């Protein structure tokens, strides 16, 4: 397929606000792709090339000055090969080499193709075709049901590879896709409830479990082979030797577990700190940012981080000894999990009584944790979805939002990008909608880090140069007192007393909270 057709379709998708129209445009392109074009094209259309991070920012793209070609000659595969070449270019002189590759490519590209390539490179596609819209279009193009396709996507863990199956093998191929040990799946996410009472009223009999403020992990065990993945499906096995050691000791042939790793102030070899009865704060969890710092540096050869190693705790079991459990009720999965991991499970109770649930919440807060998760006992594991059968309850409202821009600071913050522009995900899949600003909760360390990072992600500046707009790649956890109606922002809602809890490198923009989640706080 000519790259020009992809560029023109992308522009047309960006120009319409209709989800249905976007889907029809995308379905038309998907249906005409050759098999080897499907996976790269899906990556292009959702602004997530299969090559991953390319090391190309606005500075590199802005240096390219070539006259667009008058006729189209490039095909989709040409762009895929360019991005592969760029991703493999590293070391001294790599910036110059990337610029040369880009110059040579764009010399053959039309004006419309120029725009598409530049936007893909800097993560600024902004056509409103996030994964949800493209998944619907893929179902239409392949003639399969959305339910079947979405299930295959969650089990395959990759929309591009699933698209290849859907468009080449149809429903029969998708039905063969199942949970496979060693291939990470998208984790199930939770909706929000105001309190335990609201959650139990909505779900009936529930399990109430402590909500830890750690780093999400997915552990795959196959006899002696262990792999550990993050929430974003990145392989971090080498960083978590203690998790690998524990996983190898489990009494099973193979398993897939969902859990968290958490740092603690105390270090109790052989003792479970989450339920320890020692006095004082030695058994209390460290802040999330400290957990992530240890998570990012720990290796087999490293000493334990100050205050103890990261500790794994598990709350779900999706596969055990040759059998997928994702369609089993939570109660069954929990029983099997308890037998498998013992004291490495997160404390939980089963109840339909609000007072018991609230006591369990109080216990979690007293132990220094975030709150509780309230889960329907009959619910399946809905991988890749923010399911209604899981509700998170925290005493302070928090939202995962995406940074859209930042303003240069004044006074003591002169020279730092400070005031954040915060965006919630549009529930219709049309990018991100601004819902507020904040400069509160930022330490000097965070200000320095985000200034450097924002300039790497810069797409453009305001005419005054006061505001720097960035590619929507960074998720930040925001604490707030609630929301209020507002005509200032396009979503008609604004955050109240928002402050930064911390950046969440373990979370992706596609899993950020939606505008509906903000409106629910009105």
The pLDDT tens digits of the residues spanning 235-261 come to 999 989 989 999 999 999 999 999 999
Give CA separation, 338 vs 257, 291, 301, 326, in Å. Answer: 12, 25, 31, 16
Structure confidence at residue 55 as a pLDDT band (50, 70, 90): confident
Q: ∠ CA(286), CA(360), CA(260), 5° rounding?
A: 40
User: Is a pLDDT exceeding 50 seen at residue 471?
Assistant: yes
Query: For a pLDDT cut of 90, what percent of the chain falls above it?
Result: 59
Say how far apart CA 374 and CA 210 lie, in whole Å.
9
Give the per-residue pLDDT at 281.
47
Give the per-residue pLDDT at 99.
86
Query: For a pLDDT cut of 70, what percent of the chain falls above it?
Result: 91
Give the per-residue pLDDT at 429.
65
By DSSP bridging, strand 189-192 and strand 386-393 are parallel
Question: How many CB atoms are closer than 10 A to CB 465?
Answer: 8
The listed range with the strongest mean pLDDT (55-59, 170-174, 262-266) is 170-174
The pLDDT tens digits of the residues spanning 327-358 come to 999 999 999 999 999 999 999 999 999 999 99
Pair of tokens at residue 132: 């949800």
Give me the active site residues, please: 211
Say how far apart CA 18 and CA 32 lie, in whole Å.
22
Residues 6+ apart with CB under 8 A from 68: 106, 109, 110, 111, 113, 114
User: Is a pLDDT exceeding 80 seen at residue 103?
Assistant: yes
Q: What is the mean pLDDT of the chain?
A: 88
User: Is a pLDDT exceeding 70 seen at residue 127?
Assistant: no
The pLDDT tens digits of the residues spanning 195-224 come to 999 999 999 999 999 999 888 999 999 987
The pLDDT tens digits of the residues spanning 165-190 come to 999 999 999 999 989 999 999 899 99
Quick one: average pLDDT of 389-402?
Answer: 90
Question: How many CB atoms are closer than 10 A to CB 269?
Answer: 6
Give the per-residue pLDDT at 468.
96
Give the per-residue pLDDT at 37.
96
Say how far apart CA 274 and CA 266 lie, in whole Å.
10
Q: ∠ CA(158), CA(162), CA(164), 5° rounding?
A: 125
DSSP 159-197: HHHHHHHHHHHHHHHHHT----TTS--PPPEEEE-SSHH
Question: How many CB atoms are closer than 10 A to CB 235?
Answer: 12
Give the per-residue pLDDT at 19.
85
- Comparing 341-345, 380-384, 399-403, the range with the smallest average pLDDT is 380-384
- The residue ranking higher by pLDDT, 265 or 370, is 370
């Amino acid at each position: 397929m000519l790259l020009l057709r992809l560029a023109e379709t992308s522009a047309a998708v960006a120009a319409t606000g209709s989800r249905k129209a976007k889907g029809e445009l995308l379905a038309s392109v998907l249906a005409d792709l050759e098999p080897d074009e499907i996976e790269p094209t899906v990556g292009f259309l959702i602004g997530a090339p299969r090559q991953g991070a390319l090391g190309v920012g606005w500075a590199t793209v802005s240096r390219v000055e070539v006259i667009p070609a008058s006729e189209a000659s490039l095909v989709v595969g040409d762009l895929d090969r360019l991005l592969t070449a760029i991703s493999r270019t590293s070391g001294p002189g790599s910036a110059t080499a990337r610029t040369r590759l880009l110059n040579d490519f764009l010399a053959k590209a039309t004006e419309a193709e120029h725009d598409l390539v530049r936007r893909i490179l800097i993560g600024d596609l902004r056509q409103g075709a996030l994964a949800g819209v493209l998944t619907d279009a893929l179902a239409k193009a392949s003639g399969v049901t959305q339910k079947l396709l979405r299930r295959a996507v969650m089990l395959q863990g990759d929309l591009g590879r699933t698209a290849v199956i859907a468009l080449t093998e149809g429903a029969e191929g998708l039905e063969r896709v199942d949970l496979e040990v060693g291939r990470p799946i998208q984790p199930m996410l939770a909706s929000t409830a105001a309190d335990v009472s609201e959650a139990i009223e909505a779900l009936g009999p529930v399990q109430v479990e402590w909500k830890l403020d750690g780093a999400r992990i997915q552990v795959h065990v196959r006899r002696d082979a262990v792999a550990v993945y993050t929430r974003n499906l990145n392989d971090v096995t080498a960083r978590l030797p203690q998790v690998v050691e524990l996983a190898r000791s489990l009494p099973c042939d193979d398993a897939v577990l969902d859990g968290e790793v958490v740092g603690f102030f105390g270090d109790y070899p052989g003792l479970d700190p989450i339920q320890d009865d020692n006095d004082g704060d030695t058994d209390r969890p460290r802040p999330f940012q400290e957990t992530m710092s240890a998570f990012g540096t720990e290796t087999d050869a490293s000493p334990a981080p100050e205050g103890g190693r990261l500790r794994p705790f598990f709350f779900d079991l999706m596969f055990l000894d040759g059998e997928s459990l994702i369609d089993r009720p939570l109660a069954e999965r929990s029983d099997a999990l308890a037998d498998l991991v013992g004291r490495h499970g997160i404390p939980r109770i089963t109840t339909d009584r609000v007072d018991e649930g609230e006591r369990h919440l109080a216990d979690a807060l007293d132990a220094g944790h975030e709150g509780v998760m309230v889960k329907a006992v009959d619910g399946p594991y809905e991988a890749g979805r923010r399911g209604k059968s899981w509700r998170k309850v925290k005493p302070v409202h928090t939202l995962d939002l995406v940074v859209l821009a930042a303003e240069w600071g004044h006074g003591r913050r002169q020279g730092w990008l400070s005031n954040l522009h915060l965006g919630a995900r549009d529930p219709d899949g049309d990018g991100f909608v601004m819902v507020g600003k904040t400069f509160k909760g930022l330490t000097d360390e965070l200000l320095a880090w985000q200034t450097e990072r924002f300039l790497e992600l810069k797409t453009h500046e305001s005419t005054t140069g006061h505001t720097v707009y960035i590619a929507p790649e960074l998720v930040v956890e925001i604490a707030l007192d609630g929301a209020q109606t507002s005509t200032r922002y396009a979503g008609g809602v604004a955050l109240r007393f928002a402050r930064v809890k911390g950046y969440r490198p373990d979370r992706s923009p596609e899993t950020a909270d939606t505008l509906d989640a903000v409106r629910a706080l009105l």
